Amino acid sequence: MKPTVALVGRPNVGKSTLFNRLTRSRDALVADQPGLTRDRHYGHGRVGGKPYLVIDTGGFEPVVDEGILFEMAKQTLQAVDEADAVVFLVDGRTGITPQDKIIANRLRQLDRPVHLVVNKAEGVNQSIATAEFHELALGEPWAISSAHGDGVRELMDRVLEPFPEEEEEAQARHPKFAVIGRPNVGKSTLVNAILGEERVIAFDHPGTTRDSIYIDFERAGRNYTIIDTAGVRRRTKIDEAIEKFSVVKTMKAIEDANVAVLVLDAQQDISEHDATIAGFALEAGRALVVAVNKWDHLDGEKKETIKRDIARKLSFLDFAKFHHISALEGRGIADLFKSIDEAYQAAMSKLSTPKLTRVLEVAIERQAPPRVGPVRPKMRYAHQGGMNPPIIVVHGNALEHIPDSYIRYLEHTFRKVFKLQGTPLRVQFKTGENPFDKDDAKHKPKLSALAKYKTKLAEKQARNKRMKDVKK
């Protein structure tokens, strides 16, 4: 088992910067603004032969008892409970604060090692940078600069010293799915319902989640990764720099996932912005499942109105399954998860070339591609060109003349035969080269080595002759 290291400290002491350095990534949002990280954020690191798991936490406010800061403190305490070692970060520029003392008192009660780390100590003698922090009574302070990397490797050698070396286990491929949607539609509540615990902060305020939180878990003996993403607002309403970064992280999470779970709020009108977010997943080629949340509090007439609205505004998601759920009460979660599994299997399907070609031939017999002037496109065979989404490459002649309506016909045929429910499907065409096209450089006669030599010799003689003429 990899040791788990939790990064703890008051807001804006550099925990996320250290997290990014330890994981060699930019997974945690970093800015000169306190309270940016809110949920527990996990990442993998390695020092020599010792792999480890590191947890970034929100700024620890141990004295609050309500609001978003209280929820952040709960997340931090859960991370500490999970950890094998704790790194307590303090700010070397600011010095000891009353809040540092309160956190230190809490950490001294733990039955696991706590390492006191003085951050932002670049350019300062270590003994001077750490002098006043001995007062916290957590052992010898260690000075580092998470921004510049000074002392970080030595710190991790010290933290991981009690743990034995082991080979990092090869990670098997497993499904990743991202929960996406507008702010405050219940994405984090759904994540918690799937995990069966309060893993991420679910707070009745838009924009609570700012980062994309990757969470590994196991269900029915199978490994998964779920990604809780920030709510995506309309571009005109994004005015904070942090929120712009959050949207970028959400787009990255969609591309990193195999399946996107689009969460809609049944108590709000289905908007064009919901369609835009679905379009992000579709452009990325991701399998899609739609969860219509907060369904249980609607009357019959309102439910029918929402169904018609969805059918009209999200008609382009005809390949996806729709589920009516209540994330808060855990209703419909099992069926939703079943569709996530099915969508993943469809997205990662392996399609045999002989069967693809037979399906193509049957489709052509039923409906041949339309003639364009004197030319009728001729499709010869098909093979798989990729997964997630499945890509089917059709070879033939004059295929650039095939209209979009016929491409949709082929997509529908392939999806029906191979039962590719839940994933978009892309059909691409590859036209054979015309050997009689004299303008094609590929078919120009190739010169032999002797012919090339003679050509260069003739060019050199002509050049020398011109030089003589110039001298005369």
Question: How does pLDDT run across 392-410, given as a tens digit for each residue?
Answer: 999 999 898 899 999 999 9
Is 316 flagged in the annotation as binding? no
Using the 8-state DSSP alphabet, how is residue 209 labeled? -
Is 294 flagged in the annotation as binding? yes
Is 35 flagged in the annotation as binding? no
More confident residue, 75 or 83: 83
Q: Is this structure's pTM higher than 0.75?
A: no
Is 404 flagged in the annotation as binding? no
**Region for residue 46 given its phi and psi (left: phi exceeds 0; alpha: psi -120 to 50; beta: otherwise):** beta
Is 231 flagged in the annotation as binding? yes
More confident residue, 177 or 268: 177
More confident residue, 384 or 58: 384
Residue 47: CA atoms inside 13 Å, Cβ hemisphere, count?
20
Is 394 flagged in the annotation as binding? no
- In this prediction, residue 415 carries a pLDDT of 92
Beta bridge partners of 178: 227, 260
Question: How confident is the model over 361-387, as pLDDT tens digits?
Answer: 999 999 999 988 888 899 999 999 999
How far apart CA 78 and CA 168 sit, in angstroms, is: 25
How far apart CA 36 and CA 161 sit, in angstroms, is: 31
- In this prediction, residue 199 carries a pLDDT of 63
Is 182 flagged in the annotation as binding? yes
Residue 242 three-state SS:
helix
Question: How confident is the model over 152-202, as pLDDT tens digits?
Answer: 999 999 999 988 876 544 444 789 999 998 888 888 889 888 888 776 554
Of 151-165, 199-213, 338-352, 427-441, the range with the highest mean pLDDT is 338-352
Which residues make Cβ contacts (< 8 Å) with residue 64, sequence separation at least 6? 70, 73
Walk across the sheet containing 259-265 and list its strands. 213-219, 222-228, 176-181, 259-265, 287-293, 321-324
- In this prediction, residue 209 carries a pLDDT of 46
Q: Mean per-residue pLDDT for 126-139?
A: 91
- In this prediction, residue 354 carries a pLDDT of 94
Q: Give 30's pLDDT tier (boundaries 50, 70, 90).
A: very low
Is 105 flagged in the annotation as binding? no
Is 10 flagged in the annotation as binding? yes
Q: Give 243's pLDDT tier (boundaries 50, 70, 90).
A: very low
Tell me the C-alpha to C-alpha distance, in Å, between residue 371 and each of 367, 411, 439, 469: 12, 20, 26, 62
Using the 8-state DSSP alphabet, how is residue 441 labeled? G
Burial of 378 (0-12, 13-18, 19+ CB in 10 A): middle
- In this prediction, residue 160 carries a pLDDT of 92
Is 15 flagged in the annotation as binding? yes
Burial of 88 (0-12, 13-18, 19+ CB in 10 A): buried
- Is residue 210 over pLDDT 70? no
Q: Of 52-61, 183-192, 245-254, 347-356, which gets the smallest average pLDDT?
A: 245-254
- In this prediction, residue 269 carries a pLDDT of 80
* CA geometry: angle 164, 170, 172, nearest 5 deg: 140
Is 58 flagged in the annotation as binding? yes
- In this prediction, residue 422 carries a pLDDT of 93
Is 437 flagged in the annotation as binding? no
Is 212 flagged in the annotation as binding? no
69 within 8 A of 100, measured Cβ to Cβ: no
Is 229 flagged in the annotation as binding? yes
Mean pLDDT in the chain? Answer: 81
How far apart CA 168 and CA 308 sit, in angstroms, is: 51
More confident residue, 447 or 232: 232
Is 204 flagged in the annotation as binding? no
Which residues make Cβ contacts (< 8 Å) with residue 295, sequence separation at least 6? 266, 303, 324, 325, 326, 332
Is 422 flagged in the annotation as binding? no
Is 302 flagged in the annotation as binding? no
